[in-house]
Homo-oligomer: A and B are copies of this chain.
Amino acid sequence: MLGEARSKGAIATAIATCTHSCLRHLNQPGEPMTHPVSSFEFIVSGVLLAFVGVPLTAQTGPEVARAFREANEASILRDFSELLAYPNRARDTEDIRRTAAYIRDELLAVGVDSELLEIEGAPPIVYGELMVPGAVRTLGIYVHYDGQAVDPTNWTHPPFTPTLYTAAMEAGGQPRPFPEEGEAVDPEWRIYARSAGDDKAPIAAILPVLRAFREAGIVPTSNLIFFLDGEEEAGSPHLGEYMERWKDRLEDIDIWLFFDGPAHPSGRPQIVFGVRGSMGMEVTVYGATRNLHSGHYGNWAPDTGNILARLLASMKDDTGRVLIEGWYDTVEPIGEEERAALEGMPAWDEELKRELGLVRTEGEPEALPERLMVPALNVRGITSGNTGALARNVIPNTAVAALGIRLVKGNEPAHMRELVVDHIRRQGFHVVTEDPDMETRLLYPRIAKVTGEGGSSAARTSMANPFAQNIMGAANAAADRAFGPGSLVIAPGMGGTLPLRHFTEVAQKPVIIVPVANHDNNQHAPDENLRIANLWYAIDLYAALLTMPVTVF
């Protein structure tokens, strides 16, 4: 399987082409090869660089994909629209299965050996593989084909009737027909439909890339394993079971690419090496056994709102520093690459503050990307009595705070929870896990019920990983072409949480998040949309990732 080395510029580059026999995945039986290829070659040199794929033509993978896209823009939009018309809420069994079957068929049509994996009572996984003889690396590609629930009454158009606009609605865009074949497509157009951004866009982009490659006889430089989740928006409750049951198909994966999420808020594309973990807790403090009249008992009855306020105030100071003992102790320090990446990130805070109407943020002068490198404690909600027209003259018998905790690498959810509980105890509360009975109430002057189990750990892929560096290189090149030189934002971590536990904790694989959707895609909200330029970027990016040089280490 070893072939001949070729050198391309300063970097030692090996190009592998594919025999007919290796193309079972790329061509449907009976279809003529548009670009027949005759052999493979690849190298494992002392420098440990191996490159597979990329035909012996003048055109690179991204060039081929771009040419294909430019020649087929109208039909790519039509295909996307067809995909978007499939209702895809995870719990709507019939709908989600139809969507899965449609995607499987589309993958088969572009040469991916695809099938539905099924566990009783769960939406299927759309599984696909495209094995490249000679490839020494395997990319896992995670996408989810299910979408958030919709309330059609809040949408301008029915959420599963994709509607093309000349620009974003907020920017004065107007609806227009889908273009005819050959008609020019404005990259500022937007397609409005549920899942346009989250997360059908990657599916709509990978299909034309694979079709273009197949037509041009290009094979990827890595094996590809597609694993398309059908219940991400429902918390992926069966993902672990799927990954366990079919683990033999996943064990060769070197790195997972998560095709999900939006661009950097600046609008620039990004690639993200980590996510924070997430954990919820809820604290209830108690006054009397029932709401008391604020006139008859005010100044005497425990003032639950004030008791809760003092507890919450004890947890974080005015600068945003969490005051819970040990809160920052387990944070795993970031490396040099991550520090450099943080420093290279766009100075976006001032713009974001202007957009959000803020003069001061928590932890200033530290910028947002840095603030995502430490665990966060926020009040997600407080409920006690009522306000506004519903306010009544009572001293509420309870006050409840929902805490949202975000973890970073090194934080263990159970440990962080214990820190919070210990802090509450130190504030003089007797901590319980159920509403206190009368006996308990009559024993302790201050009682707090603390609930909330589980939680997900943070994950972060080291930027020092050579394969990760190949991916960064490919993404950089695609971003340079689509958005201009140096446009790619390389983020050591994002603030949000993705269901990475099964990947990073159970299967112990690195994950890199490769978002393509415009930052203002309204994901999870009404009038979700994708900007066409972002779809074109996705096509470029995937073409680059599928044909990137592969460092063997």
Contact yes or no, B381 A300, CB < 8 A: no
Q: Residues of B contacting A392 with CB < 8 Å?
A: 380-381
- The 8 A CB mask of A372-402 against B (1 = contact, 0 = none) is 1011111111111111101111111001111
Q: Does A313 contact B (CB under 8 A)?
A: yes
Q: Residues of B contacting A496 with CB < 8 Å?
A: 293, 295-296
Name the residue on B nearest A354 (C-beta): B442
Q: Does A310 contact B (CB under 8 A)?
A: yes
Contact of A379 among B293, B385, B442 (CB under 8 A): B385
Q: Does A318 contact B (CB under 8 A)?
A: yes
Stretch at the interface among A40-48, A196-204, A274-282, A536-544: A274-282
How far apart are the CA atoms of A494 and B295 in the complex, in Å? 8
How far apart are the CA atoms of A372 and B377 in the complex, in Å? 38
How far apart are the CA atoms of A311 and B305 in the complex, in Å? 12
Q: Does A444 contact B (CB under 8 A)?
A: yes
Q: Which A residues, 381 to 439, have Cβ-Cβ distances below 8 Å to chain B?
A: 381-388, 390-396, 399-402, 404, 406, 436, 438
Contact yes or no, A305 B382, CB < 8 A: yes
Contact yes or no, A401 B305, CB < 8 A: yes
Q: Does A495 contact B (CB under 8 A)?
A: yes
Q: Residues of B contacting A443 with CB < 8 Å?
A: 359
How far apart are the CA atoms of A281 and B450 in the complex, in Å? 30
Contact of A401 among B298, B387, B446 (CB under 8 A): B387
Name the residue on B nearest A310 (C-beta): B313
- The 8 A CB mask of A291-315 against B (1 = contact, 0 = none) is 0111111111111111011111101
Q: Residues of B contacting A313 with CB < 8 Å?
A: 306, 309-310, 312-313
Q: Does A368 contact B (CB under 8 A)?
A: yes
Q: Residues of B contacting A465 with CB < 8 Å?
A: none
Contact yes or no, B378 A300, CB < 8 A: no
Contact yes or no, B387 A299, CB < 8 A: no
Q: Residues of B contacting A379 with CB < 8 Å?
A: 303-306, 309, 384-385, 395-396, 399
Contact yes or no, A371 B278, CB < 8 A: no
Q: Taking A296-B494, A297-B495, A441-B359 as contacts, is the C-beta distance between A395 and B378 under 8 angstroms? A: yes
Q: Residues of B contacting A311 with CB < 8 Å?
A: 309
How far apart are the CA atoms of A548 and B292 in the complex, in Å? 36
How far apart are the CA atoms of A260 and B399 in the complex, in Å? 32
Contact yes or no, B402 A387, CB < 8 A: yes
How far apart are the CA atoms of A384 and B417 in the complex, in Å? 22
Q: Residues of B contacting A384 with CB < 8 Å?
A: 379, 381-382
Contact of A391 among B363, B391, B402 (CB under 8 A): B402
Q: Which A residues, 487 to 515, have Cβ-Cβ distances below 8 Å to chain B?
A: 494-497
Q: Taking A297-B495, A362-B300, A363-B299 as contacts, is the C-beta distance between A441 and B306 under 8 angstroms? A: no
How far apart are the CA atoms of A286 and B358 in the complex, in Å? 9
Question: How many chain copies does the complex carry?
Answer: 2
Q: Does A19 contact B (CB under 8 A)?
A: no
Closest chain B CB from A316 CB (angstroms): 5
Contact yes or no, B442 A359, CB < 8 A: yes
Closest chain B CB from A29 CB (angstroms): 46
Range class of the A interface residue count: 35 or more
Q: Residues of B contacting A444 with CB < 8 Å?
A: 359
Closest chain B CB from A492 CB (angstroms): 14
Contact of A383 among B295, B388, B494 (CB under 8 A): B388
Q: Taking A357-B289, A360-B445, A386-B380 as contacts, is the C-beta distance between A495 and B296 under 8 angstroms? A: yes
Q: Does A361 contact B (CB under 8 A)?
A: yes
Q: Does A11 contact B (CB under 8 A)?
A: no
Contact yes or no, A299 B406, CB < 8 A: yes
- The 8 A CB mask of A436-466 against B (1 = contact, 0 = none) is 1010011111100000000000000000000
Q: Taking A316-B303, A320-B303, A362-B299 as contacts, is the C-beta distance between A380 and B404 under 8 angstroms? A: no
Contact yes or no, A441 B357, CB < 8 A: yes
Beyond the given A300-B320, A301-B361, A305-B379, could you list 14 further A-B residue pairs with CB under 8 A, ordered by the A residue number? A282-B391, A288-B358, A293-B496, A294-B378, A297-B368, A298-B376, A300-B362, A300-B495, A303-B316, A304-B379, A305-B382, A306-B379, A310-B313, A357-B436
27 contacts between A and B (CB under 8 A): A276-B295, A288-B358, A292-B356, A295-B406, A295-B495, A295-B496, A295-B497, A296-B494, A297-B495, A299-B320, A299-B375, A299-B376, A300-B368, A300-B495, A301-B356, A303-B378, A305-B378, A305-B381, A309-B379, A357-B438, A358-B441, A359-B441, A379-B395, A380-B394, A381-B396, A383-B383, A383-B388
